[in-house]
Structures are given as structure tokens and as C-alpha cells.
Amino acid sequence: MRAAPLIALLVILGASAFASDTLPWPKSDLYSGDVKGQFDAGYAAGRAEALRDTQRNYLAVERYGREVVYSTDEDTILLRRFGIHVKHVAGCLVMPRVVGHAKGYNNVSEPEIRRRFGNALERAAQEAQVRWERNRPKT
């Protein structure tokens, strides 16, 4: 049984972290209380990355939060039909820097996508939803 020593070690490390009131890893600015500063830094980085990507003819959008049931189909439509990549950057719990990055990135990429393809993002979402409604199990 090799798992037992590993589990014992994890329990000891965890207990020592709580007993000493410190975390077993270094604190980072990601967990600081400066929410606005983290959002702003992420926003600036997202805009810069999107500008670089669009200049290289790489189109993408960043998404976070709970995914809808048809999001995989929507992502496939966007990629195959328009060459637009969908980057799922976080789930339901999102750090301010990640939100800022996604907002900054999408504020550059979405207007460029609209300029090139019209309302492709909305059409893909609508088409994927209609397909899902049509094919879902009926109760």
C-alpha cells in the first residue's frame, strides 16, 4: 500500500499549515485585496493579446462561467465555419484578473469578428441552441 504514506504526509502538511496559520505555498498578488488593480492589469493584458492575435489573423473569444448545454456545438460551429476559437478560461469561480483579461480580450476581438463576419457569434449560439432543442430527449 503506497498510498497510505502519501496520505499521511498530506495530512501532516495540511495540519501544519493550519496550525502555523500560514499556507504551504507563497502568497501571490493574485489573492490580494486589490480587486480593481487585478482587473485593470488583466484588462490591459487581454487587450494587448487580442490586438496581437487579430493582427496575426487569429480570431478568438474568451469565455468563463457556467457553460450552456450546447456550448460544445457552438464552439464547433464557430471554429469550422468561421475559424473563430473559443477559449474557456474559467468556470463559475473567476478571479478578477481573469475577468479583466477576458473583457479586454473580447472588447478587441468581438468588434473584429463582427467586422469580418457580421453577427457570427449570435448566429452560432442560436443555431447550436436550436439543434440541441431539436435533438434533446423528450420527456
The 3 state secondary structure assigned to the chain is: CCHHHHHHHHHHHHHHHHHHCCCCCCCCHHHCCCHHHHHHHHHHHHHHHHHHHHHCCCEEEEEECCCCCCHHHHHHHHHHHHCEEEEEEECCCCCHHHHHHHHHHHHHHHHHHHHHHCCHHHHHHHHHHHHHHHHCCCC
Q: What is the pLDDT of residue 19?
A: 43
Q: What is the pLDDT of residue 32?
A: 56
38 within 8 A of 95, measured Cβ to Cβ: yes
> What is each CA distance from 53 to 38, 49, 69, 122, in whole angstroms?
22, 6, 28, 21
54: cell is 487579430
pLDDT tens digits for range 104-120: 999 999 999 999 999 99
Is residue 19 included in any domain, yes or no?
Answer: no
pLDDT tens digits for range 7-26: 444 444 444 444 444 444 34
Question: Containing domain of residue 99, as a range?
Answer: 26-135
Q: Of the candidates 88, 70, 94, 85, which has an alpha carbon nearest to the alpha carbon of residue 120?
A: 85
How many degrees, rounded to 5, is the angle at CA 118 between CA 44 and CA 75?
70
Q: How many domains does the chain have?
A: 1
Is residue 44 included in any domain, yes or no?
Answer: yes
Is residue 2 included in any domain, yes or no?
Answer: no
Q: Angle at which helices 120-135 and 96-117 pack, to 10 degrees? A: 100
Is residue 99 included in any domain, yes or no?
Answer: yes
Is residue 39 included in any domain, yes or no?
Answer: yes
Is residue 11 included in any domain, yes or no?
Answer: no
pLDDT tens digits for range 36-53: 999 999 999 999 999 999
Q: State the Cα–Cα distance between residues 46 and 106, nearest whole angstrom.
A: 8
Is residue 101 included in any domain, yes or no?
Answer: yes
Is residue 107 included in any domain, yes or no?
Answer: yes
